[in-house]
Amino acid sequence: MASSTTSKIETDDEFTEQEEEDEDEGSLEHFDDFTLASSWERFISEIEAICRLWMSDGPNNLLIKGAVLVEDSNHLYKVKSELKYAMKSYYMEYYFETNPDVDGGKPAGWNFDLHDMQLCFGVKEFLVIAPQSASGVVLDAPEASKLLSSVAIALSNCSSLWPAFVPVHDPSRKAYIGIQSMGTVFTRRFEADLIRSQVPVKLMHLEGLYELFVSKFAYSTLDLTVHNFKVRYAMKLTYKTLHFDDDYMKGFDAENNKSDEDLTGEASDMTQWDDDCSWSQWYSAEDPVKGFKLIAIWSEKMVESSMEMAELENTSPHEAEKWLISPCFATNLLEGSKGNRIGFASQLLLLVDALQMSFDAQFMEDFVSVENPGSDDLKSSMVIPPPTVRDRVLKELFIEGVQFSDFADDGHKTSRSIKGAPLYSLYAQFCLHSLWFGNCNIRAIAMLWIEFVREVRWCWEESQLLPRMPANGSIDLSTCLINQKLQMLAICIEKKGQLNEDYEDCIGSLDHLDSMTEEESVVGDGPFSMQTPSDDVSGKVDSISTADDLLLSGTKKSTVSRKPENVKLFDDKKSSDFTRRGSAGIVNSTMLLKSYQSMHAPYTQEAPLMTEDMHEERLQAVEAFGDSFNFSAQLERDILTSDMSAFKAANPDAVFEDFIRWHSPGDWEEDDDPEGSRSSSSSGLDIEKSKHNWPPQGRLSKRMSEHGNLWRKIWNSAPALPTSEQKPLLDPNREGEKVLHYLETLKPHQLLEQMVCTAFRAASDTLSQTSYGELKQMVAEIEQLYPTMASPLRPLQVNRLSPDSDTIEDLRRLSVDFERVEKLLTVAASLHHKLYRAPRLYREIFSDYYSFYIPKMGTDLTEDDVEKKFDKKLEVRNHEREVLSSMFVPPTANQSWRKVLSMGNLLNGHEPIVREIIFSLRDSVSGNHYAACGGSVSQQEIETYRTYICGTSNDLRVALSVVSCD
């Protein structure tokens, strides 16, 4: 049976060889005499032809022809060619460098740009021949030897010194055999393999590894004196911090803070890495920095005995010549929004989906009503949280005692470009809570909004101040309309409460003010500042002003006149002094024109506040009625009438010219006074001088003196009434009910449009408050985020959105851009938190991360791809070593998986996860009888033995290079 099988194989081989001879007839690259050439000879000839072509092209031409840059390398390229032998297909790769200054044969420098083959065997350029199969290795030993011999013969025919390698055994072993001609009688042979699971304990220590290396050249064929040799060694140790879990961070914080506080309490047990980050109120982010790899390097040194190597095992990594650090990032940094990552970006995307669904109903109640026909579909896919969760959210929103003024910082400086609500305002907080309420579905939002409006109405009916809203000032028209309405309501609640106060208490508090003398109630340059002289006595101010008058009072400009010094103040009291009402005090030293009395400033009403839609209503009224009814002019007339009435009440003897001198000083032209009739002082002496200069000399401007002037008409018809007796320009009850009606009847899509704008703005403002150190890239990203959001959000601010609008897709893309910035920010915050005592390190690490990951954001990469691709290493300076060392906290009882330590060189109780050693023995071959005369290598020192050892606690990889004589 064996004979017949052998015969069949020989027949097949002959048939195959005959076919190949027919196909290759006439080819110049093969033997001419096909009757004598075997398939193996033709295979060698084909390898030789490929090698000659690569040698003739050189590196530059190979790059032009499409050489590929090897991954994780800046200088190493490769070209590939396919060939056949018998019935099998093979490929051959040539690896070469473009930078002649890079010495790939000097691995003792631990150049991290080296390829694995260069590091293991100390070569620079090399060939690899392997079968085209799933494993990519040769499993048959004779086949591997034949392949290596074929390449060696071909390279010899080409006079090439390239080393050649063949992968053998299992791919996970990274086993190779190789050969290289040294150009003389010397030949270098290579071998690499991996020992797993059953590594002898002796080989886990430096002494045993040293003896393993020495045993390889104990019986050398070279003329070496083996008793007095000196072995060169270089060592690299790689440490990795424990996973940054809660236990680790607790120990790390305790090590870094080193304060007198007790860190063992219940609160410290709940510490998360991002507890001090701005987003921690809303979600807990996964730490993007899973750990750090620390590499300690000892460069090439000499050792003469195994005892010396044993002592080196007790050497601390702090004595290493160089430290390098490499961060380990989480793989989900590159995943898109479809991942399981929870953050603002993922919730904002859900809010955009809710916006698209908001067009399906007329009112928010329709989404939660059981009578709504479409509610069954909503119920099946969208869940409303239980009442306990809803009540907790409302309690946090309407927390008692929290006012808008309690928050000093209100978002980023450029956030006002987004028409939303300020970060700490009531509506902005509602939007942020909605992002996580029921996973931000439309039904949950509708339920929370209905309850939110009910709470707002309760505050209105009970005259309770709205939390997180300013109760005074003007309406901020740069914010969204809902925020304007809530601000209007807060002001109305404040005014409504003032109107409901006991007027008797208010009268008593202001009684002293109305009974002050004229000199005691002088108004200064500020808003009715009072100054009290020590001597003079004046008539009584008979007006009674309420707290509402104080709130509605305004500031008017005034003029000052003088009177001779020898005239006493208020010698001629008039009965009109006792009918004065609503006076806020004397206007500096100004005297009335027709009466020998000082001018008094009245308490006036403020101009009525209006929201954005109220302004639009005014404009629409103007457009509808035209000149026949000027709505804006009517409002101005009402304000002017109120001011004139208050001025008349405070100054019963005043004339129209006096009002102009106080309200619009620019329309009063005074005669020139060489001595100067104006004075900024409000002392009793100035008042006395003003009385001596009475009556003031001057005239109305041309505008005010024209016949039929509207202001004079209003003056003539305006009654003398203080603000306390006037009809309020702003009716808080009416305006408050209008606000509540707006909130209760707001259409769903109008609510969601404003929610989207506010949520994007508030989320950005929240993230911008994160502490990430001096990172220029992040500063630029945050600055650019707001202009990036402004364009897609603009259609929502003008209420011109439709359900099939392209804006929805723009918003989805915006959430992806937001996610990119959010991920960058979490990395920056994590690096800053861990390396804040070494600012140079976290700045440069983040810069490398930013440059590497930004082009890959959103691509589909596996964990292996990420770990393989990102391997940036940064050198640690001497003063930064203590910071890195403190990150290796001693293992705790919860980390009992760390078994018994099997290697030395411990760092705070941590053994190296990988230990790499290069042993080498160099010999001068000068005078050696094997060396060829005149050979270039005969006068050099060559590396006769070299061993690269990479060991962990579970395996040991050894690569051996030996020079022998043929």
pLDDT digits (tens, 9 = 90+) for 488-524: 999 999 988 887 764 445 544 545 445 444 444 444 3
pLDDT computed for residue 31 by the predictor: 47
Contact between 761 and 420 under an 8 Å Cβ cutoff? The reply is: yes
Q: Same domain, yes or no, for 205 and 309? A: yes
Tell me, yes or no, whether 191 lies in a domain: yes
Domain boundary among 165, 195, 225: 195
Q: In this predicted model, what pLDDT tens digit does every residue of 144-168 receive, in sequence order?
A: 999 999 999 999 999 999 999 999 9
Tell me the pLDDT band of 263, cut-offs 50, 70 and 90: very low
Q: Same domain, yes or no, for 814 and 847? A: yes
Q: Same domain, yes or no, for 716 and 757? A: no
DSSP symbol at 680 = S
pLDDT computed for residue 529 by the predictor: 33
Window from 16-20, 609-613, 749-753 with minimum mean pLDDT: 16-20
Q: Same domain, yes or no, for 323 and 419? A: no
- Into how many domains does the chain fold? 4
- Residue 240 has a CB neighbour count (10 Å cut-off) of 17
Q: Same domain, yes or no, for 210 and 281? A: yes
Q: Same domain, yes or no, for 803 and 937? A: no
Contact between 187 and 181 under an 8 Å Cβ cutoff? The reply is: yes
Report in angstroms the alpha-carbon separations of 147 from 130, 164, 168.
8, 10, 11
Q: In the chain, what percentage of residues exceed pLDDT 70?
A: 71
Coil, strand or helix at 569:
coil
- Alpha-carbon span 5 to 741, nearest angstrom: 97
Domain boundary among 789, 819, 854: 854
Contact between 758 and 480 under an 8 Å Cβ cutoff? The reply is: yes
- Check pLDDT > 90 for residue 443: yes
Q: Same domain, yes or no, for 779 and 703? A: no
* Helix then strand then coil, % of the chain, to nearest 5: 45, 15, 40
Window from 142-151, 375-384, 481-490, 652-661 with minimum mean pLDDT: 375-384
Coil, strand or helix at 326:
strand
Tell me the pLDDT band of 527, cut-offs 50, 70 and 90: very low
- Alpha-carbon span 110 to 296, nearest angstrom: 11
Closest C-alpha to 114, from 60, 76, 69, 162: 76
Tell me, yes or no, whether 116 lies in a domain: yes
Tell me, yes or no, whether 456 lies in a domain: yes
Q: Same domain, yes or no, for 360 and 484? A: yes
Average pLDDT over residues 138-146: 91
- Check pLDDT > 50 for residue 576: no
Q: What angle do CA 178, 179, 182 make, to 5 degrees?
A: 150
* Crossing angle of the two packed helices 426-436 and 748-768, in degrees rounded to 10: 90
Most confident of 189-198, 501-510, 575-584: 189-198
pLDDT computed for residue 245 by the predictor: 54
Tell me the pLDDT band of 847, cut-offs 50, 70 and 90: very high
- Alpha-carbon span 935 to 217, nearest angstrom: 24
Tell me, yes or no, whether 551 lies in a domain: no
Contact between 834 and 779 under an 8 Å Cβ cutoff? The reply is: no
Closest C-alpha to 952, from 197, 113, 116: 197
Domain boundary among 156, 177, 195: 195
- Check pLDDT > 80 for residue 305: yes
**H or E segment at 812?**
helix 806-835
Q: Same domain, yes or no, for 218 and 315? A: yes
What letter represents residue 440's amino acid?
C
Q: Same domain, yes or no, for 740 and 709? A: no
- Residue 799 has a CB neighbour count (10 Å cut-off) of 12
Which residues contact residue 664 at a Cβ distance below 8 angstroms, ignoring those fewer than 6 apart? Answer: 557, 704
Phi and psi at residue 874, to the nearest 5° = -125, 130
Tell me, yes or no, whether 516 lies in a domain: no
- Alpha-carbon span 361 to 354, nearest angstrom: 12
- Residue 934 has a CB neighbour count (10 Å cut-off) of 8
Tell me, yes or no, whether 590 lies in a domain: no
- Alpha-carbon span 684 to 560, nearest angstrom: 13
Q: What angle do CA 840, 843, 849 make, to 5 degrees?
A: 135
Contact between 808 and 352 under an 8 Å Cβ cutoff? The reply is: yes
Tell me the pLDDT band of 630, cut-offs 50, 70 and 90: low
Q: Same domain, yes or no, for 240 and 306? A: yes
Average pLDDT over residues 871-886: 90
pLDDT computed for residue 690 by the predictor: 55
Q: What angle do CA 98, 100, 106 make, to 5 degrees?
A: 110
pLDDT computed for residue 1 by the predictor: 39
Average pLDDT over residues 839-844: 94
The pTM of the full predicted model, rounded to 2 decimals, is 0.74
Tell me, yes or no, whether 484 lies in a domain: yes
Residue span of the structural domain in which 283 resides? 197-245+273-328+873-965
Q: Same domain, yes or no, for 717 and 749? A: no
Q: In this predicted model, what pLDDT tens digit does every residue of 529-547 receive, in sequence order?
A: 333 333 332 333 333 233 3
Tell me, yes or no, whether 629 lies in a domain: yes
Window from 103-117, 526-540, 896-910, 911-925 with minimum mean pLDDT: 526-540
Residue located via tokens 């979490």: 826
- Alpha-carbon span 235 to 110, nearest angstrom: 9
